[in-house]
Amino acid sequence: MSSPIHTHSLSKAFRRHDAVRSLDLEVPAGSVYGLIGSNGAGKTTTIKLLMNILRPSSGTAEVLGVDSRRLGPRHLARIGYVSENQELPDEMTVDYLLRYLKPFYPTWDDSLANEMVRQFDLPRDRRLHHLSRGMRMKAALASSLAYRPELIVLDEPFTGLDALVRHEFIQGLLERADGTTILISSHDLSEIESFASHIGYLEDGRLRFHEEMSTLVERFRQVEVIFAAAPALPQDWPAAWTQPQTGSSVLRFVDRQFDHSTTPAEIRRLFPAAQNIACEPMPLKDIFVSLAMSSRHSNAA
Amino acid sequence: MRQALHIFRKDVRFLWPPILVVLAMTAIFAWSRSVDPSRFIRGNTGVGATNLLDTVSSFLVLAWWYLIACLIYKEQPAGDRQFWVTRPYSWKSLLAAKTLLIVTFINASFLISDIAILSANGLSPSKAAANLLGRQLAITAIFLLPAAALAATTRHLAYIAFALSVVLLLNLFFNPGGSEGLYHLWGRLAWIPEWTTAAILAAGSFAVLAWQYASRRTPISWTILAGVSAICAAILMAKPVGPAIALQSHFPSASADVPEVRLSFAPGAHPKGGIMIGPSKFVQFPPGMHGWVPIRINGFSPGVQVKADLVKVTIHGPQGTSWSSGWIHSSPSTQSRGPIEWAQAWIGDENRFLYVTIGKQPLESFQSQPVSVSVSVAMTVFRTETATQLMSGEPDRSIAGVGNCSVRGMNAPGSPWLLCRSAESSPVRVDVQGIPLIEASYAPKWGIFAQSPVSRLYESLADRRSLFNEGPIYITTGRPVAHVRRDLEIPQIRLWEAPSR
């Protein structure tokens, strides 16, 4: 099965600012692809390029097998898009929004729409501009899932939502998007971590890495080594070990290429005086911080 | 089409307030042009009526623009946060839906208003079908499409307000006379810049709309809009290529051989600081005037009258020096056209005399030197056509070229008033009791680009009331039958002395 989203050397420049630089992105079919990165990394611009909201400066993007610049009504009827900064038709009530959108989608499912309205506890007769931010996002999601899209694109959907609404949002999404490809950009790494199958890390418009969530989590470890006395860092410090911190009898660092079979042995080789070695899995948030910090250090250097 | 109707229904549902405003303003517009204008008269002039009609027209156009802005902004093509761009809208359906709403609530309501105005004024809408169609095309090209294009390339009403303010300011700066200024320059050929501008505006605006909805590439649309605006401004500011076009443009194609009309130098004529331009209206020459060349227009046969339209003065001094005014308009209204640094032409004494005044600058160049003066005058020749007798209180009578006429309000302020209504405009001279009431206008305000499908002549006859008292009022019309040019050579005069000799 071909990738629903595939980009090749995709770039976007605004005047002299390169927002996206030569991006090669591949979102596997059926995956939940989390696009993460700090503010200004290029996540939203990338998604707007994919949705044909913006036109690329160079390179190409294919969405559902079509050049993104040629995305038309037929293709958009198969894509669900929700964005935190999208302007909704505020004068419409929830009920009218769903009734209005129905004729646009041949695959619209009334029962599914009603079910989501109930599940999200959306007030049918209230205008969108009278709804809270969370309610508006849920209404947007309901209107984007009711036609069972093949691809769902979510741009920072959790921004400004409280924990309960986030939970409802994700529940609603996952329950009804089984097997659907989802591309989601978010700062909320803890939420992403709970359901993303793939992660792509954008920095300064470039895709620094992208891999399956399971291998990423497996690859990163917070390592703590206990010594009897203060340790000294060796000359041949491995490049994959980042952010070393030393105390009176402790050395901590992040191993970005952890391997059960080789890493402990390598630590013992470099630190024969090590008394205890602990390698703990890292949450996505810490991985993200680690990556961002090491990137800043290398940029500063 | 189904999607277009679906969007149209949605827009009607959510835009009913501005739609209601447009319909209400259209109704007021129709009423204001259907009701007897004497209702609006304050004092002895028709200024109150004119102001009210202008105000109503302005508010109607503003109501159109507001509706169009609201309509386009519902699904904005400009920007990158719009809801509709990620939904399966067909841009053609979206554009069709917007067009349908504009046609339904602006074009159709305006057409109904025009028909109502014609009917209320006792005129046949079917006979004015071409004019009605022309007015629809004109408002679409000049008011609706540009407003839609502007809205399609902006995101807030403030941008539209700013753009329109800039256009108005530029118009005031470069074209202070507005459409009348255009007529002043182009005469009856004013339709050339008018329709060229309208066609370019319409084509450019439509191109921007289609481009914006299809591709949403706003910077390119701005470039197109700026280009279209620049071309239109250049056309509106352009002057006719030469006097030949200007001359031809001021007259209908009718012609007659009138060899008897001629010019002569009248050194004895004394305008005495001003001229009479009506039975009781004396216009003073402005201060700072240094000399004039009085010219008599001779050779009228019975039933023929002449109006000097354009004048050119060339002064030949010793040693080959010369100065030429170029073609200038001759009209009493030129008195308000700034300091006299050039030459001006004044018509007076029932069009029998033409006083060419020469300003300080050219005079000083030829001070105290004998010069020869060449004067060229382009004139309209009128032939009296019909004479109609009207009595106050009688029903309308049809007068060819003027319309259905009656005398109103014998006892009202500024009364009586002559009211004529017509569905067409033509350059007709109207005399009352043998004294000119209106000149044959080469700048008709009526027609497609006017504010009403009905041209209404509403003129006070108060200043000649003594001529008819309670008796019949004789209306005489004259049609332009020819335009002629006459040249006069005045050898060896001294400009300083010309006025008094």
Q: Looking at this predicted complex, what is its ipTM?
A: 0.86
- Asked if B114 and B220 sit in the same domain, the reply is yes
CA distance A101 to B152: 23
Distance CA B123, CA B139 (A): 22
Least confident of A8-17, B159-168, B264-273: B264-273
Tokens of A222: 């917070």
Let me know whether B140 and B45 are in one domain.
yes
Q: pLDDT category, B183, cuts 50, 70, 90?
A: low
Taking every pair of Cα atoms in chain A, the longest distance, rounded to a whole number of angstroms, is: 73
- Verify that B95 and B186 share a domain, yes or no: yes
List Cβ neighbours of A119 (8 Å cut-off, separation of 6 or more): A168, A171, A172
**Amino acid letter for position B269:** A
Can you give the residue range of the structural domain that contains B431? 383-482
- Under the banding of pLDDT at 50, 70 and 90, the label for residue B334 is very low
pLDDT at B114 over 90: yes
Q: Judge contact between B494 and B381, C-beta under 8 A.
A: no
Average pLDDT over residues A143-169: 87
> Are B96 and B230 within one domain?
yes
Mean pLDDT lowest among A66-75, A131-140, B37-46, B253-262: B37-46
Tell me, yes or no, whether B34 and B179 share the same domain: yes
Question: What are the pLDDT digits (tens) for A83-127?
Answer: 988 899 999 999 999 999 999 999 999 999 998 898 888 999 999
Beta-strand ranges (E) seen in A196-249 are 198-203, 206-212, 221-226, 241-246
For residue B264, the tally of other CB atoms under 10 A from its CB is 13
A104/B14 CB distance under 8 A: no
- On whether residue B256 sits in a domain, the answer given is no
Q: Is residue B435 part of a domain?
A: yes
| Model pLDDT for residues B196-233, shown as the tens digit of each residue | 888 999 999 999 999 999 988 888 999 999 999 889 88
| Whole-angstrom distance, CA of residue B234 vs CA of residue B200 | 12
Does residue B426 sit in the same domain as residue B355?
no
Is B252 contained in some domain? no
Q: Which residues of B touch A54 (CB under 8 A)?
A: 80
Q: What sections of A177-256 are H helices per DSSP?
A: 189-195, 213-219
Report the relative pairing of strands A5-14 and A26-27 from DSSP bridges.
Answer: antiparallel
Which token pair is B221? 């649309």
Confidence grade of residue B105 (pLDDT, cut at 50, 70, 90): very high
Out of A191-200, B13-22, B366-375, B448-457, give the one with best mean pLDDT: B13-22
Identity at A171, one-letter amino acid code: Q
Cross-strand partners of A67: A62
Parallel/antiparallel/unpaired status of strands A5-14 and A58-63: antiparallel
List pLDDT tens digits, range A236-292. 888 889 888 888 889 999 998 999 889 989 998 998 888 999 999 988 888 888 877
Assess whether B215 and B302 both reside in one domain: no
Q: Mark whether B476 and B489 lie in a shared domain.
A: no
DSSP H helical ranges for chain A? 43-50, 73-76, 94-101, 110-119, 133-145, 163-176, 189-195, 213-219, 263-270, 284-300
Q: Looking at the 3D structure of chain B, how many domains does it have?
A: 3
pLDDT the model gives residue B254: 45
Instruction: Quickly state the pLDDT bin for B20 (edges 50, 70, 90).
Output: very high
Asked if residues B354 and B311 have their Cβ atoms less than 8 Å apart, the reply is: yes
Distances (CA, A) of A142 to A126, A147, A177, B131, B188: 15, 9, 11, 53, 63
Residue B457, in any domain of the structure: yes
Question: In terms of Cα–Cα distance, which of A139, A137, A82 is closest to A116?
Answer: A139
Identity (one letter) of the amino acid at B365? S
Q: Which residues contact A11 (CB under 8 A, 6 or more apart)?
A: A18, A20, A21, A22, A23, A56, A57, A58, A59, A205
Name chain A contacts of B18, Cβ cutoff 8 Å. none
pLDDT band at B499 (very low <50, low <70, confident <90, very high): very low
**Integer Cα distance of B46 and B438 in angstroms:** 15
Residues of A in contact with B16 (CB under 8 A): none
Q: Where are the alpha helices (DSSP H) in B306-380?
A: 360-365
Q: What is the CATH number of the domain that holds B343?
A: 2.60.40
For residue B78, the chain A residue with the least C-alpha distance is: A53
User: Closest by alpha carbon to A36, among A158, A146, A200?
Assistant: A200
Instruction: Tell the residue number behind the tokens 């669900």, with chain if given.
Output: A80
CATH (one of 3.40.50.1580, 3.40.50.300, 3.90.79.10, 3.40.50.150) for A5-213: 3.40.50.300
Q: What is the DSSP letter of B445?
A: -
Could you tell me if B115 and B159 lie in one domain?
A: yes
| Average pLDDT, integer, range B478-495 | 79
Whether B86 sits inside 8 A of A103 (CB atoms) is no
Residue B332 placed within a domain = yes
User: Is B83 close to A103, i.e. CB distance below 8 A?
Assistant: no
B409 in the same domain as B396: yes
Q: For residue B256, what pLDDT band results from cuts at 50, 70 and 90?
A: low
Beta bridge partners of B486: B377
Over residues B48-58, mean pLDDT: 70
User: What local confidence, expressed as pLDDT, does residue A226 receive?
Assistant: 92
- Residues B420 and B397: their CA atoms lie apart, in Å, by 9
Query: How far is residue A238's CA from residue A234's CA, in Å, rounded to a whole number?
Result: 9
Q: B201 to chain A, minimum CA–CA distance in Å? A: 28
Question: Is A74's CB within 8 Å of B88's CB?
Answer: yes
Please list every residue in chain A whose beta carbon sits closer than 8 Å to the beta carbon of residue B2.
103
Residue B308 has pLDDT above 80, yes or no: no
Q: Which of B7, B12, B80 to substitute to test the interface with A, most A CBs within 10 Å?
A: B80
Residue of B nearest to A74 (CA): B88
Whether residue B231 is found in the same domain as residue B98: yes
**Does some domain include residue B131?**
yes
Please say whether the beta carbons of A52 and A68 come within 8 A. Answer: yes
CA pair distance A42, A35, nearest whole angstrom: 10
Domain edges within chain A = 5-213, 221-281
- Tell me the one-letter amino acid at B175: N
Calculate the alpha carbon distances from A26 to A62, A83, A212 in Å. Answer: 10, 21, 12
Residue B462 has pLDDT above 60, yes or no: yes
Environment class of A149 (CB within 10 Å of its CB; exposed 0-12, middle 13-18, buried 19+): buried
Answer yes or no: are the C-beta atoms of B126 and B114 closer than 8 Å.
Answer: no
Question: B413-459: per-residue pLDDT in tens?
Answer: 667 778 888 877 666 777 777 666 766 544 444 445 567 788 777 77
Residues B344 and B209 reside in one and the same domain:
no
Helix or strand run (H / E) with residue B380: strand B370-390
Q: What was the pLDDT predicted at A273?
A: 87
Interval B141-160: pLDDT, tens: 989 999 999 999 998 888 88
**Average pLDDT of span A70-78:** 92
Whose structure tokens read 């707007």? Answer: A48
Highest mean pLDDT among A285-294, B71-80, B316-325, B353-362: B71-80
Q: What is the pLDDT averaged over residues B455-477?
A: 76
For chain B, the residues whose C-beta falls within 8 A of a C-beta of chain A are 2-3, 6, 10, 14, 74, 80-83, 85-90, 217
Q: Which of A95-104, B355-364, B488-497 has the lowest mean pLDDT?
A: B355-364
Nearest to B80 among A48, A74, A79 (CB): A48
* Averaged confidence pLDDT in chain A: 88
pLDDT of residue B473: 82
